[in-house]
Amino acid sequence: MVKAAVKKSSPGFRVAGRKALIVGLAATGVSSARFLKGSGAEVVATDMKPLDELTGAGALMDLGIRIDAGGHRLESLDGVDLVVVSPGVRTDEPILNEARRRGAEVISDIELAYRFIDCPILAIAGTNGKTTTTTLLGEILKDSGKKVFVGGNIGTPAIEITEAGADYDLCVLEISSFHLETTRTFNPHIGALLNITEDHLDRYRDFDDYAGTKFRLFENQGEGDYAVVNVNDPVIEKRVSRGLTRGKVVPFTVTGALKEGLFLKGGSIIYLNGGAEEAYPTSEFRLKGLHNIENVMAAIASARLAGVSREVILETLATFKGLPHRMEFVRMLDGVAYVDDSKGTNIGSLMMALKGTDTPVVLIAGGRDKGGDYSVLGGLVKEKVKCMVLIGEARFKMKESLGGLTDTVIADTFEEAVKTARSKAGAGDTVLLCPACSSFDMFRDYKDRGDRFKRLVEAL
């Protein structure tokens, strides 16, 4: 169960009187800069974008924060002994390497926030499903009557917990690998790792480096902490078996049974804990799909460890319908289901989407390539996909890897892709938008891509 809150900000870490540099002025950078300035630090911020493109820059300058825009310059480091790097900034940027050489401490905004959060932290990490699981867990905890802060990679910077003016019972954070690259003391009392599949390989040396970064979620845990882990994921199972977790392991899986932990049996999630058995009937869940069963398992385990009753968990699961652009049903037209999974921006997410779809699929995929190996999808494409409609910069690479396995069409525009998908689909099929790529070649972000898909589908 959740231990008593412990104040993380110790006399060993001070802010007042220090000079801090914020690298990257997206939402996390702006919040970190504001917090550090309010805590008595001299603050400088830098960003690659020009000043007129930085939202919130004016308000920071009004606080007396200097902004060096239009590129990261080494002179921004003068006198700096603390650097807070935003998750979107590569940690091998020259300015960060030079900061380390000069002896400055380089940390993420998550690490900064951790040192000031004075309630237990529940953290969710993984390649896919983080936002759904974080949101669901937050809702369960709130429905139990607890006062909960939900933030991190989900949209609300973690440091904003210090500005909320409230005493929280628990803090639930979505954690990306980018955050974990520069954590040092960060230690969630309950950490959940959902899966590790190929993603962001343009940022890491190789897949092993990426997986190792995910496992930093657990590196500061002790015997009184919990590691909720998906042992159906071979990468996670292997690392857990090697003893790379320090907290008490709480495993879950959607295949087979376990002597302790969570697994599927007879249409229910079974949670075995110290001989006690609880059942959570999946027919009562609004969330559907195998990938969501894994997300639910992680949320159940984390919530129970936090002291929430089975009854409250079931009540929340009966009403929680998920988030936009994550296997979101759009409409039924002429017997064809249209599903928006625009958030499926990597190969692992497409793999889970196809595994969780029981009807023949007309797949719309492609976008900006992230360095993965599409050939691992070959078996699923051959089995489940009756036609692929490929878009974006990666369309020819995807066709080369998978095009020989099913009917494949190259589309030059998104509008053409949706029209082609309709022409290829018949009653009983599913048209699935699951790009397995980022959106930035054709759209502002995955939300823009998903919204455009829904508008085009509604207009058919």
- Here the tokens at position 411 are 């589309």
Residue carrying the six token digits 């690479």: 397
Residue carrying the six token digits 């396995």: 405
Cβ burial of 341 (10 Å; 0-12, 13-18, 19+) is buried
The catalytic site residues sit at 130, 153, 200
DSSP string, 371-437: S--GGGGHHHHHHHEEEEEEESTTHHHHHHHHGGGSEEEE-SSHHHHHHHHHHH--TT-EEEE--SS
Cβ neighbour number for residue 426 with a 10 Å cutoff: 12
DSSP 8-class letter at 2: P
Helix (H) or strand (E) holding 207: helix 207-214
Helix (H) or strand (E) holding 298: helix 290-305
- Here the tokens at position 79 are 């006198």
Dist. CA 274–CA 422, nearest whole Å: 52
- Residue 405 to residues 378, 402, 409: CA-CA distances in angstroms? 7, 6, 12
Write the single-letter amino acid at 13.
F
Nearest by Cα to 318 from 143, 134, 125: 143
The number of residues making up the chain comes to 460
8 Å CB contact between 407 and 387: yes
Residues 6 or more apart whose CB falls under 8 angstroms from that of 407 comprise 386, 387, 388, 424
- Residue 157 to residues 89, 163, 257, 270: CA-CA distances in angstroms? 15, 11, 38, 34
Dist. CA 308–CA 141, nearest whole Å: 7
The phi, psi pair for 47, rounded to 5°, reads -155, 150
Dist. CA 441–CA 165, nearest whole Å: 40
Dist. CA 213–CA 208, nearest whole Å: 9
Nearest by Cα to 172 from 228, 239, 234, 220: 228
8 Å CB contact between 202 and 370: yes
Residues 6 or more apart whose CB falls under 8 angstroms from that of 448 comprise 439
- Residue 16 to residues 36, 37, 39: CA-CA distances in angstroms? 8, 9, 6
